[in-house]
Structure 1
Amino acid sequence: MARSMLIVSRQSPWSGPGAREALDIALAGGAYDLPIGLLFLDDGVLQLAPGQHGATLQQKDLTANLKALSLFGVDKLYACARSLADRGLANTALAPAVEILDAQGLAELINRYDQVITL
């Protein structure tokens, strides 16, 4: 049986390669039918904010990668409630839709996966 993997994305979409790398790992794992979960934590929740325009910063937008996750079987998406609240996204329609978890939910989530990768 394939080992499950949780990828924790902690970087904002424009602060460096970490956000893109987390999505790439999730897409690659999904392509090989691995049980993958993706958790957006800290500044990583900024990837979920609607209306991002990477061209303004001369960077490629991550929206297409986020939309492709479900095509690769990565449909277990989570976000930290506190991270969303701290960044003013608590009552925002996120794209894509994610399950929002409190501190206890985060601990339970991490314990459900065999491997955890943080970027």
Structure 2
Amino acid sequence: MAHSMLIITRQSPWSGPSAREALDIALAGGAFELPLGLLFLDDGVFQLVPEQHATRLQQKDLTANLQALPMYGVDSLFAAKRSLNERGLDGAELSLPVELLDDLDVSALINRYDHVITL
């Protein structure tokens, strides 16, 4: 039986390659039907902001990768409420439907997976 994996993405989409790498791992795992979840934490919640203008920062837009997650079977998407609140983001206005978690729920989520990767 395949081990489950949680990918925690903590970097904003414009701060370097970590955000893209987290999405690439999630898409690859989904393609191989690996049971996995994706948690947006800290500045990683900025990846969920709609209508980003990545080209202004000479970065690639991650929107297409994010929208592809469900097509690859990556349906377990989570975001930390505290991270959203600290950054002034509204959970109802995100580009993807995610389950919003408080701090205790985040801890329980991490404990639920066999492997955890943080980028």
Whether the TM-score (by the shorter chain) exceeds 0.5 is yes
Q: Distance in 1 between matches of 2:111 and 2:83?
A: 20
How far apart in 2 are the matches of 1:103 and 1:88?
A: 17
Aligned residues: 119
TM-score, normalised with respect to structure 2: 0.97
- The match for 2:36 is 36
Could you tell me which runs of 5 or more consecutive residues in structure 2 were left unpaired when the two chains were aligned.
Answer: none
Alpha-carbon distance, 1:57 to partner: 1.3
Identity over the aligned pairs, expressed in percent? 68
Aligned to 1:73: 73
Q: Which runs of 4+ in 1 moved over 3 A?
A: none
List per-residue Cα deviations over 1:3-35 (Å, max 9, x = no partner): 000000000000000000000000000000000
Paired letter, 1:111: N
Partner deviation per Cα, 1:61-87 (whole Å, 9 max, x = no partner): 000000000010001000000000000
In 2, Cα distance between equivalents of 1:66 and 1:102: 22
Alpha-carbon separation, structure 2, partners of 1:69 and 1:47: 13
- The question of whether the paired residues in 2 share the 8 Å contact of 1:10 and 1:43 is answered with yes
**1:17-36 matches, cutoff 5 A:** 17-36=17-36
Give the match for residue 46 of structure 2.
Answer: 46
Give 2:82's aligned residue. 82
Q: Note if contact 2:91-2:100 (Cα within 8 Å) is conserved in structure 1.
A: no
Q: Scaled by the length of structure 1, what TM-score is found?
A: 0.97
Mean alpha-carbon deviation: is it higher for 48-57 or for 59-68? 48-57
Q: Which runs of 5+ in 1 are unaligned?
A: none
CA distance in 2, matches of 1:38, 1:92: 18
Does 2:3 align with 1:3? Answer: yes
Residue identity matched to 2:17: P
Counterpart in 1 of 2:112? Answer: 112
